[in-house]
Amino acid sequence: MTVELLRNAVRPYAWGSRTAIPELLGRPVPAPHPEAELWMGAHPGDPSHVIGPDGTERSLLELVDADPVGQLGERCAKRWGGRLPFLLKILAAEEPLSMQAHPSAAQAAEGHAREERLGIPRDASNRNYPDPTAKPELVCALTEFHALAGFRDPGRTVKLLKAIETPGLAKYTGLLEAQPDPSGLRALFTTWITLPQPSLDGLLPEVLDACVRHVQEHGEFATECRTILELGEAHPRDAGVLAALLLNRLTLREGEAIYLPAGNLHLYLSGTAVEILANSDNILRCGLTPKHVDVPELLRVVDFACGEMPVQPGECADDRMAVYHTDAPEFELSRMEWTADDPTEIEVDSAGPQILLCTAGDLLVTAADGERIELRRGQSVWLPAADPAVKIRPLDGVRAQLFRATAGTCEE
Ligand SMILES: [Zn+2]
């Protein structure tokens, strides 16, 4: 029996919140530095550590490497070459992240091989494909969470562009109106993202002024325009501000999730969320960041499919459990909820490697042999594949919430 607590690394990216992660972990707030992400998993960049009963710690990456079949199960170990296929994160965004997309499995394999051939070091800042694998991701809101994701229906975007019409924008509006489909979006996005700086410097102030007017008039697209203004304030000369006009503006409520498959262009704006993703760092950025930007490579992977982004509901399908659906073979995320004074014990079967994360209340985890471990808010545990099922129930009468990360259905 090895239900063991994890000690997880915090990533201090500048866009992070000083309060969300420390508050969840029960540390003093505000923290002295931004705390952007908490990583739970076996990513070589910052693996979690498993805390043994005697307080000793071992890197989860080392544990998996030493016994892939015992830790991951035979099928998962074989399918993913002895690596834990997913990474679970808490994401705490105070400020917007970069605009980005991730490659498909085939694009990642090809890009990785190409950059290896070119001899670009894996940790170089201009490396696009440090990993040979895809990076699908799913983000589930813990607080109200704001994002731009996927291309808006072009008809709606034409309406938005007309609502903020300026002389400089008119020809671009006309371009999309003449071809309101993925090809038209590709043409307009490519034009904007590659505009020479002098043209951008002429157009952007005009667009931002138009957005100010639209917000003041409480126009139909006021929320979208406020986001453009926020991005424009932080990056006043960046073509990504124009590109942001083309994306869906989403507000997720607690428990709601979006799935970002390969090629989906997205930008997280603000809020706290649980994120699950394939254990990969392949990111192609097109702007709104001081980090490496590679527009030609991004254009190779972006998917210009358009329309509303499907938002998965936060309600629990059966009483206490919500499963988030994706086509990603690397992961599956589910959420368990107990309302106040609900003492029901839930059995969590042993389906490959699992990480359980408590995000509200306190829980009691009981293993098959009767051993018990208390899981407090902000704490997480590692369940190796070799372990039998465990049972979980709230420790006291308050509301409790648990996220469960597992590998997806491993096809043979
Ligand atoms: Zn992403």
Quick one: DSSP state of residue 35?
B
* 88 pLDDT more than 60: yes
How many angstroms separate the alpha carbon of residue 372 from the centre of ligand 1?
37
Q: How far apart are CA 317 and CA 148, in angstroms?
A: 27
Same domain, 267 and 321: no
Separation of 344 CA from ligand 1 center, angstroms? Answer: 36
Query: Best-predicted range by mean pLDDT among 48-57, 217-226, 402-411?
Result: 217-226
Sign of the dihedral defined by the CA atoms of residues 110, 115, 121, 126, in that order: negative
Across 223-349, where does the E strand assignment appear? 247-252, 257-260, 266-278, 284-287, 321-324, 332-338, 346-348
With a cut of 70, say whether residue 27 has pLDDT above it.
Answer: yes
- pLDDT tens-digit series, residues 156-197: 999 999 999 999 999 999 999 999 999 999 999 999 999 999
- The answer to whether residue 304 is domain-embedded is no
Q: Does one domain contain both 127 and 170?
A: no
Average the pLDDT over 98-119 and give the result: 95
388 preceded by a cis bond (ω within 30 of 0): no
User: What's the 244 CA to ligand 1 centre distance in angstroms?
Assistant: 15
Residue at token pair 């006009």: 245
Residues 263 and 332 in one domain: no
| CA quadruple 126, 10, 321, 4: dihedral sign | positive
Task: Tell me how far the alpha carbon of residue 1 lies from the centroid of ligand 1, in angstroms.
Answer: 36
- Number of structural domains in the chain: 3
Binding residue per annotation — 137?
Answer: yes
Query: Is a pLDDT exceeding 70 seen at residue 411?
Result: no
Other residues' Cβ atoms within 10 Å of the Cβ of residue 279: 20
Q: Is 219 exposed, middle or buried (0-12, 13-18, 19+ CB in 10 A)?
A: middle
pLDDT at 302: 97
Q: Are 303 and 263 in contact (CB under 8 A)?
A: yes
- Mean pLDDT of all residues in 56-78: 95
Sequence-distant (≥ 6) Cβ neighbours of residue 301 within 8 angstroms: 101, 102, 103, 104, 107, 262, 263, 284
> Which of the listed residues 229, 248, 267 is the one where a domain comes to its end?
248
Q: Is residue 310 part of a domain?
A: no
Looking at the fold, whether 233 and 369 belong to one and the same domain comes out as no
Compute the average pLDDT of residues 295-302.
94
Q: Are 138 and 258 within one domain?
A: yes
Instruction: Give CA–CA dist 91/76, Å, rounded.
Output: 26
Query: How many angstroms separate the CA atoms of 276 and 259, rounded?
Result: 10
**Would you name the residues annotated as active-site residues?**
285
Do 135 and 274 belong to one domain?
A: yes
CA of 100 to the centre of ligand 1 (A): 6
CATH number of residue 214's parent domain: 1.10.441
- Split at pLDDT 50, 70, 90, the class of 1 is low
Q: How far is CA 202 from CA 166, 167, 195, 199, 241, in A?
A: 12, 11, 11, 5, 13
Q: Flag whether 381 is in a domain.
A: yes
Q: Is 312 annotated as a binding residue?
A: no
- Does 395 map to a domain? yes
pLDDT of 149 reads 98
* 301-327 pLDDT tens trace: 999 999 999 999 877 767 788 999 999
Residue 297 forms part of a structural domain: no
Based on the fold, state whether residues 265 and 342 are members of the same structural domain: no
CATH number of the domain where residue 19 is located: 2.60.120.10
Cα of 270 from ligand 1 centre, angstroms? 14
pLDDT digits (tens, 9 = 90+) for 203-240: 999 999 999 999 999 999 999 999 999 999 999 999 99
Q: Is residue 53 part of a domain?
A: yes
Mean pLDDT of the chain: 94
Q: 328 and 181, same structural domain? A: no
Regarding whether 388 and 365 lie in a shared domain, the answer is yes
Cα(278)–Cα(138) distance, integer angstroms: 10
Q: What is the mean pLDDT of residues 364-382?
A: 93
Task: Give 238-275 pLDDT, tens digit per residue.
Answer: 999 999 999 999 999 999 999 999 999 999 999 999 99
Q: Are residues 16 and 120 in the same domain?
A: yes
pLDDT, mean of residues 79-97? 96
Contact (Cβ atoms closer than 8 angstroms) between residue 85 and residue 274: no
Q: Please list the residues that pair with 7 across neighbouring strands.
A: 49
Is 266 labelled a binding residue? yes
What is the residue range of 180's domain? 153-248
Give the confidence band of 412 by pLDDT, cuts at 50, 70, 90: very low
CA 262–ligand 1 middle distance (angstroms): 9
Report, as an integer, the average pLDDT of 79-84: 94
Backbone angles phi, psi at 214, to 5 degrees: -65, -40
Q: Which amino acid is present at 200? A: L
Position 190 in a domain: yes
- Segment 136-165, tens digit of pLDDT: 999 999 999 999 999 999 999 999 999 999
Question: What's the CA-to-centroid distance between 49 and ligand 1, angstroms?
Answer: 25
Same domain, 273 and 125: yes
Contact 280, 114 (CB under 8 A): no
In this structure, the answer to whether residues 131 and 174 fall within a common structural domain is no
Residue 298 lies in a domain: no
Nearest alpha carbon to residue 2 among 369, 391, 397, 406: 369
Distance 81 CA to ligand 1 centre (A): 24
Asked if residues 406 and 353 have their Cβ atoms less than 8 Å apart, the reply is: yes
- % of residues, the chain, pLDDT over 70: 98
